[in-house]
Amino acid sequence: MKEIKIFAPATVANLSCGFDVLGCCLDIIGDQMILRKNNQRKLRILRITGQELALEAKNNVATVAIIAMLEALDSTQGFDIEIDKKIKAGSGIGSSAASSSGAVYAVNKLLGDPFTLKELIPFAMEGERLASGNAHADNVAPALMGGFSLVKSYHPLEVLALPSPPELRLVILHPLIELRTKDSRAVIKQQVQLKDAIAQWGNLAAFVSGLYTNDYKLIGRSLQDKIIEPVRSILIPYFEELKTIALENGALGFGISGSGPSVFAMCKGDTIAASVKEAMHLFYKEKGIDFDLHQSKINTQGIKIL
Ligand code: HSE
């Protein structure tokens, strides 16, 4: 294979109870990427549409991830890359993760699958390190593996795939302000109160249990965040009002998507998700804030070849 075209999906990290360790993959929002081998022994980004992003290999998350992968293979193979960015940078739904995961997935295919999907995660994480100063895996893991992912540990890296209850839906509202992950990580306190930690690990464990037993109500009750949400939510216009509206319209739970400013409402079934989406739409429109709004299933496949 000389050329490949892929769909690299958006993802929602943290999911309230799992800061830096939990994420899931969306099915309707994503970038398209074309990668082909070249004989120049160079990584060349020929074109990026949809966003203004760096084209130099050392400054783009896609090529930085590929460099890490080629180094591990001791390979000097060159690649030409075209990216059509549909996920806005700084939106909180894994824009950099889609690029870095998509890039290593495509290169892996073009090289005959030397790595498993799980083995690609550390390379994609190098893109996250470039984008945010921190190599977290909670977006790149679900982008590569689909469904829900849990980062059991970072040192050593151990990532688990979790089941996706079939009726789960996510409504994603993106207020059109840019919030860089680097900045929204800077506001987080480095110390945690024991009582908050107890609440958080109880919720994370219960959330995982809910995924395994299709217990939608338990999933909803577990979408709580005592640690990160209180400090980050003040950066998101009308966060508390949106949460109240989502829950009053039947959402199971509501929280910040990744590092924001996008927020998510998790719902059971398309009908409830549609009414939550409609209510959030009306509220934000009335406030005069520009936004994007999506309703998505859980994408259990992850990156797709087009
Ligand atoms: N877990 C990361 C954070 C995700 O919240 O900073 C960034 O998308």
Is beta strand 78-84 parallel, antiparallel or unpaired with respect to 43-49? parallel
Do 152 and 182 lie in a common domain? no
Asked whether 149 lines ligand 1 (CB < 6 A), one says no
Average pLDDT, the chain: 97
Q: How confident is the model at residue 113 (pLDDT cuts 50, 70, 90)?
A: very high
The 10s digit of each residue's pLDDT in 121-156 is 999 999 999 999 999 999 999 999 999 999 999 999
The 10s digit of each residue's pLDDT in 54-73 is 999 999 999 999 999 999 99
181 among known catalytic residues = yes
Q: How confident is the model at residue 91 (pLDDT cuts 50, 70, 90)?
A: very high
Mean pLDDT of 289-296: 97
Structural domain count, the chain: 2
- Check which CATH number belongs to the domain holding 46 and give it: 3.30.230.10
Task: Please give the pLDDT value at position 147.
Answer: 98
Asked whether 13 lines ligand 1 (CB < 6 A), one says yes
Do 93 and 224 lie in a common domain? no
Mean pLDDT of 7-35: 97
Do 173 and 106 lie in a common domain? no
- Check which CATH number belongs to the domain holding 180 and give it: 3.30.70.890
Do 133 and 253 lie in a common domain? no
- Report how far residue 279's alpha carbon sits from residue 146's, in angstroms, rounded to the nearest whole number: 29
Cα within 13 Å of Cα(290), Cβ side? 4
* Residue of minimum CA distance from atom 6 in ligand 1: 259
Most ligand 1 atoms within 8 A of CB, residue of 95, 100, 139, 264 to mutate: 139
Mean pLDDT of 110-125: 98
Closest CA relative to residue 69, chosen from 110, 34, 24, 30: 110
Do 119 and 211 lie in a common domain? no
- Tokens standing for 250? 């039947």
Do 251 and 105 lie in a common domain? no
User: What CA dihedral angle connects 298, 87, 227 and 224, to 10 degrees?
Assistant: -30
Task: Please give the pLDDT value at position 188.
Answer: 94
Is the pLDDT score of 304 beyond 90?
yes
Do 72 and 89 lie in a common domain? yes
The 10s digit of each residue's pLDDT in 228-279 is 999 999 999 999 999 999 999 999 999 999 999 999 999 999 999 999 999 9
Lowest mean per-residue pLDDT among 157-161, 180-184, 262-266 = 180-184
Is the pLDDT score of 180 beyond 90?
no
Task: Please give the pLDDT value at position 181.
Answer: 87
Q: Are 25 and 298 in contact (CB under 8 A)?
A: yes
Mean pLDDT of 4-23: 98
Residue type, 77: Q
Do 96 and 225 lie in a common domain? no
Containing structural domain, residue 271 = 168-297
Residue type, 221: R
Burial class (CB in 10 A: 0-12, 13-18, 19+), 176: exposed
Percent of the chain's residues with pLDDT above 90: 97
Residue linked to tokens 């690299």: 8
Percent of the chain's residues with pLDDT above 70: 100
- Report how far residue 56's alpha carbon sits from residue 77's, in angstroms, rounded to the nearest whole number: 17
Task: Please give the pLDDT value at position 194.
Answer: 97
Asked whether 136 lines ligand 1 (CB < 6 A), one says yes
128 among known catalytic residues = yes
Do 159 and 70 lie in a common domain? yes
Mean pLDDT of 177-196: 91
Terminal CA-CA length for the chain: 14
Do 172 and 155 lie in a common domain? no
Do 112 and 180 lie in a common domain? no
Is the pLDDT score of 28 beyond 90?
no
Task: Please give the pLDDT value at position 182.
Answer: 87
Mean pLDDT of 279-289: 97
Mean pLDDT of 223-227: 96
Do 248 and 273 lie in a common domain? yes
* Catalytic residue selected from 11, 63, 126, 128: 128
CA of 252 to the centre of ligand 1 (A): 22
Task: Please give the pLDDT value at position 126.
Answer: 98
Is the pLDDT score of 102 beyond 90?
yes
Q: How confident is the model at residue 178 (pLDDT cuts 50, 70, 90)?
A: confident
